[in-house]
Structure 1
Amino acid sequence: MATNPLTVLVVGATGSIGRLVVAEAIARGHTVRALVRDRTKGAQSLPTDAELVTGDVTQAETLPDAVAGADAIVLTLGSFGTGSSSPKAVDYAGVRNVLTALTPSGSTRPRVVLMTSIGATTRSSSYGHLLEWKRRSERLVRASGLTYTIVRPGWFDMNEPDEHQPVFLQGDRRRSGGPADGTVARTDIARVLVAALTAPEAANRTFELVAEQGAAPSDLDPLFAALDQDPPGSLDAVHDEANMPLDDEPQQIRDDLEAVRAQTAA
Structure 2
Amino acid sequence: MAEDLPVLVVGATGFLGGQVVDELLKRGKKVRALVRPGSKAAKLEAKGVGIARGDMLDTSSLIAAMTGVSAVVSTAAGYTRNDKNAKLIDSYGNSNLAVAAKYAAVPRFVLISILTCDQTPQIPHFWNKKLAEDKFEELGVPFVALRPGAFFDQAVGMGGDPFSKGRFVWLGSKDARLTFVLASDLAGYLAAAVDADVADGERIDIGWTRPVTMQEAAGIAARRAGKPVKVMSVPTGAITGLGKATAKVLPLVGDMASMVAWFETGKYVADTARQEQVFGQVPTPEDAIGRVAERYGH
Q: Is the 8 A contact 2:10 2:74 kept in 1?
A: yes
Q: Distance in 2 between matches of 1:201 and 1:40?
A: 34
Question: The residue matched to 1:17 in structure 2 has which SS?
Answer: helix
Q: Alignment partner for residue 209 of structure 1, among 182, 185, 206? A: 206
Amino acid at match of 2:115: I
Q: How does 1:1-266 map to 2 (within 5 A)?
A: 4=3, 6-38=5-37, 41-44=40-43, 48-79=47-78, 80-81=81-82, 83-86=84-87, 89-102=88-101, 104=103, 108-123=105-120, 125=122, 128-158=123-153, 180-201=177-198, 203-212=200-209, 223-224=277-278
C-alpha root-mean-square deviation of aligned residues, in Å? 3.1
Larger Rg: 2
| Larger RCO of the pair (alpha carbons < 8 Å, separation 6+) | 1
TM-score w.r.t. length of structure 2: 0.58
Distance 1:221 1:154, change over 3 A: closer
Amino acid at match of 1:156: F
Question: The residue matched to 2:34 in structure 1 has which SS?
Answer: strand
Amino acid at match of 1:96: S
Runs of 4+ aligned residues of structure 1 deviating over 4 Å after TM superposition are 3-6, 176-179
Which of the pair is proportionally richer in helix?
2
TM-score w.r.t. length of structure 1: 0.64
| CA displacement 1:198-235 (0-9 Å, x = unmatched) | 0123543102100238xxxxxx9861299xxxxxxxxx
Identity of aligned residues (%): 28
Q: Distance in 1 between matches of 2:173 and 2:4?
A: 38
Distance 1:225 1:158, change over 3 A: closer
Gaps (5+ residues) in structure 2? 155-171, 211-273, 281-298
Amino acid at match of 2:82: G
| CA displacement 1:84-113 (0-9 Å, x = unmatched) | 222xx1123222212222464xx7432011
Total equivalences in the alignment:
196
